[in-house]
Amino acid sequence: MAVSLDGLGKKFRLTHDRNWTLKATMLAGHRTRYEEFWALRDLSLEVEHGQTFGIIGGNGSGKSTLLKVLAGILRPDEGTAAVDGRLSALLELGAGFHPELTGRENVYLNGAILGFTAREIRRRFDEIVGFAELDRFIDEPVRNYSSGMYVRLGFSVAIHVEPEVLLVDEVLAVGDLTFQKRCLERFAQLKAEGRTIIVVSHDLDMVGWLCDRTAWIQQGALQAVGPSSEVIDRFAIGADLTATAGDTGDGGRPAFERLSLDDLVKSVALVDPNGHPTDAVGSGRQVSIRVRYDGQAAGEPVIVALGLYRADGTHVASINSGATTSGVARSNRAPDEKAAGELVEVDYVVPALPVQPGTYELSVALHDASMRRVLERHTHILRFEVSPTGIDPQNGLVALGGTWEAR
């Protein structure tokens, strides 16, 4: 195995008031107060030699922490992480560069930091400079480099170390398209040479194209591991390994983030004007967002808040039932549903959905009546498509829904 993780755990201390000074530590006593936060917990994983392995997951899922543990930058607090073979980590390109030194001097410096000997660098120097396309500027101080030149040189050094195991963190998001393409070609070449590559990325297409196998990590725990296409599909629809086909919530659509039985919110769904659940809606058409929650378990009047986001994370709108809270809660509760433990159903009716076609995500939160306390929050719980209705093609974020009139 090129990489084997066994029960790996890494915790961080969240000090609310970081003691930067000796005096503060003395005054606070030996123990400073901090919260422990497990960025990774009980992670077991194996990557075979010669495999290209992807790691995907949302922001803050622990992907980068995992790479840093593999790279030896962070020490695990539990379990073990073993890497077999010479390792090179591309966590940040050109991290070791000194702005006042020339490109040439920095190649040797960066190479030494990555574990090269001077002789090894001398042998590959022309290749490194050639790949970075910096022949004319190699004796200029790197402070005069453009950010693209800087990154190209950093990438070129790291990629020529000839690692047996290469760790890559999101570095392909840099450089122009031509350079990105050449980077991918270089990865393919390394792959063909039988080297092990571990890629962390948000770019699911790239992971799918490059990686044989992929692991999906969420909140520091392994959600799924297997052939890339399968894992990526699972990640995209948000169902985890243990979810069964029928487990899609109460009449709603497959949940993007799964609700558990203990949650107050029982389902979130889109409902068409006829009252039928739907997973697609036309731009400018009527749609309702139906939230069901356990009114008795909440134990108090609840304000329902909704957040609408585009798939790229752009915040489109947030709405809450605060202004009309009593009205909403009461009017939507059918008289016969008042019995203990019954569900409260709330609809937010949008007469004409004013957004452009695309993929959208919905967040739901329940607040107490004062809006000061969040009872429960589900971010990106529902993902749905807004389809073009073709009446008036527009670009941008919102569908204005206007009409042209000649005068």
Residues of this chain that interact with another protein (CB under 8 A) are 12-13, 20-23, 25, 68, 71-75, 89, 91-92, 95-96, 98, 100-101, 105, 108-109, 112-118, 141
Judged on CB neighbours under 10 Å (0-12, 13-18, 19+), 331 is: exposed
Task: Kindly tell me which of 141 and 208 has the beta carbon lying closer to another protein.
Answer: 141
CB of 139: closest distance to another protein in angstroms?
Answer: 13
CB of 158: closest distance to another protein in angstroms?
Answer: 9
Distance CA 295, CA 89 (A): 51
Burial per residue of 294-317, b for 16 or more beta-carbon CB atoms within 10 angstroms, e otherwise? bbeebeeebbbbbbbbbeeeeebe
Closest by Cα among 364, 244, 248, 231 to 306: 364
Instruction: Provide the 3-class DSSP secondary structure of residue 69.
Output: helix
Distance CA 400, CA 24 (A): 57
CB of 102: closest distance to another protein in angstroms?
Answer: 9
Task: Kindly tell me which of 95 and 237 has the beta carbon lying closer to another protein.
Answer: 95
CB of 376: closest distance to another protein in angstroms?
Answer: 32
Q: How many CB atoms lie within 10 A of CB 278?
A: 15
CB of 116: closest distance to another protein in angstroms?
Answer: 7
Task: Kindly tell me which of 72 and 130 has the beta carbon lying closer to another protein.
Answer: 72
CB of 37: closest distance to another protein in angstroms?
Answer: 12
Task: Kindly tell me which of 70 and 308 has the beta carbon lying closer to another protein.
Answer: 70
Task: Kindly tell me which of 118 and 349 has the beta carbon lying closer to another protein.
Answer: 118
Task: Kindly tell me which of 167 and 364 has the beta carbon lying closer to another protein.
Answer: 167
Residue 87 exposure: Cα atoms within 13 Å on the Cβ side: 17
Residue 146 CB contacts under 8 Å (≥ 6 apart), including other chains: none
DSSP lists the bridge partners of residue 9 as 78
